[in-house]
């Protein structure tokens, strides 16, 4: 768990707020991912960054805005969210974005939108 860290661990925000989630990986990996996990649903891939370049946007609404300044850091900027966006947001990293790479997850941010 310490290989990938996420802050904050818990976040409560109103629909008009702007907040950011932060992820940092200490594994020397080059690919980073954002996932959403809602109750009773499979993990949903949101975004993929490989060597700081976004390679996947899985039809995510524009109220979620990712940022990857370098291979170790990943942000998810949130604005005008909806209550149905309440979920566990997970960051993961892998050696690179190729097919055989194992992904390692951070502890997640539990987001509640009021």
Partner 1 sequence: QKEVEQNSGPLSVPEGAIASLNCTYSDRGSQSFFWYRQYSGKSPELIMSIYSNGDKEDGRFTAQLNKASQYVSLLIRDSQPSDSATYLCAVNGVNTGKLIFGQGTTLQVKP
35 close to 46: Cβ distance less than 8 angstroms: yes
The phi-psi region of residue 27 (left if phi > 0; otherwise alpha if psi is between -120 and 50; otherwise beta) is alpha
Q: Under the criterion CB under 8 A, does residue 45 sit at the interface with partner 1?
A: yes
Q: Under the criterion CB under 8 A, does residue 96 sit at the interface with partner 1?
A: yes
Burial of 33 (0-12, 13-18, 19+ CB in 10 A): buried
User: Binding partner 1 by CB under 8 A: which of 55, 70, 82, 112?
Assistant: 55
Q: How far is the CB of 100 from partner 1 (least distance, A)?
A: 5
Q: Under the criterion CB under 8 A, does residue 106 sit at the interface with partner 1?
A: yes
- Contacting range for partner 1; rule: CB under 8 A; set: 13-21, 64-72, 75-83, 98-106: 98-106
Q: Under the criterion CB under 8 A, does residue 66 sit at the interface with partner 1?
A: no
Q: How far is the CB of 16 from partner 1 (least distance, A)?
A: 28
- 5 Cβ neighbours under 8 A, 6+ residues apart: 23, 24, 25, 26, 106, 107
**Is the peptide bond between 8 and the residue preceding it cis, with omega within 30 degrees of 0?**
yes
Q: Under the criterion CB under 8 A, does residue 114 sit at the interface with partner 1?
A: no
Q: Under the criterion CB under 8 A, does residue 99 sit at the interface with partner 1?
A: yes
């Amino acid at each position: 768990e310490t290989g990938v860290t996420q802050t904050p661990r818990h976040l409560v925000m109103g629909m008009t707020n702007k907040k950011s989630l932060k992820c940092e990986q200490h594994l020397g990996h080059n690919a980073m991912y954002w996932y959403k996990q809602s109750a009773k649903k499979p993990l949903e891939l949101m975004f993929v960054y490989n060597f700081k370049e976004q390679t996947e946007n899985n039809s995510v609404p524009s109220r979620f805005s990712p940022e990857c300044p370098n291979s170790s850091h990943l942000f998810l900027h949130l604005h005008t969210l909806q209550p149905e966006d309440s979920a566990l947001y997970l960051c993961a990293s892998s050696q690179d974005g190729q097919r055989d790479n194992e992904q390692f997850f951070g502890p997640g941010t539990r987001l509640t939108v009021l």
